[in-house]
């Protein structure tokens, strides 16, 4: 008995099955809480440009919009759509034209882009990735979110009042 399912529908189903199998082979899906503004359209160009490997760790699939994870177990976790940090006394470093606010959290580093809306936050284990490799590896993707401000040194800041 001939199949009653049109060829384009069968092809679509086959492609969907292959895509699902490919995703399953690339690593376990990581559960990541999406940032408050993960649906901001400005995150899309950055997320599409995320590297397949970061600090010698492979990119894994995630279950949330505007998130990325490298390593299994997760060593680097990225979320686009976090609130942009305001003025801070935390160190702010410029790497490849991207400003990052750096927070030392014992065993982890937390980096948040400065001057970009939405902001991108990266949390990673100090013993599994270097801050240089993470910032350098993510700069070209993150730079797809336009910069509106830049870090300044305290000496260069304009006094208020």
pTM, two decimal places:
0.79
Look up the domain containing 63 and give its range. 28-152
Examine residue 39 and state whether it is found in any structural domain, yes or no: yes
Examine residue 14 and state whether it is found in any structural domain, yes or no: no
Examine residue 2 and state whether it is found in any structural domain, yes or no: no
Examine residue 122 and state whether it is found in any structural domain, yes or no: yes
Examine residue 48 and state whether it is found in any structural domain, yes or no: yes
Q: Is 101 exposed, middle or buried (0-12, 13-18, 19+ CB in 10 A)?
A: buried
Examine residue 20 and state whether it is found in any structural domain, yes or no: no
Considering only 24-38, 39-53, 86-100, 109-123, which range has the smallest mean pLDDT?
Answer: 24-38
Considering only 8-22, 48-62, 63-77, 121-135, which range has the smallest mean pLDDT?
Answer: 8-22
DSSP secondary structure string, 130-143?
-HHHHHHHHHHHHT
Total domains present in the chain: 1
Q: Is 159 exposed, middle or buried (0-12, 13-18, 19+ CB in 10 A)?
A: exposed
């Amino acid at each position: 008995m001939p199949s009653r399912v049109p060829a384009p529908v069968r092809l679509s189903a086959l492609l969907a099955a292959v895509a699902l199998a490919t995703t399953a082979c690339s690593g376990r899906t990581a559960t990541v809480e999406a940032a408050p503004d993960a649906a901001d359209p400005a995150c899309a160009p950055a997320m599409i440009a995320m590297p397949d490997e970061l600090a010698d760790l492979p990119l894994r699939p995630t279950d949330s919009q505007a998130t990325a994870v490298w390593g299994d177990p997760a060593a680097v976790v990225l979320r686009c759509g976090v609130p942009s940090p305001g003025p801070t006394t935390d160190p702010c470093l410029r790497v490849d034209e991207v400003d990052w606010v750096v927070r030392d959290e014992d065993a982890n580093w937390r980096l948040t882009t400065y001057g970009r809306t939405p902001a991108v936050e990266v949390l990673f284990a100090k013993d599994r990735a270097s801050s240089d490799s993470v910032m350098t590896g993510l700069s070209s993707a993150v730079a797809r979110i336009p910069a509106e401000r830049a870090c300044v040194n305290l000496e260069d800041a304009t006094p208020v009042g």
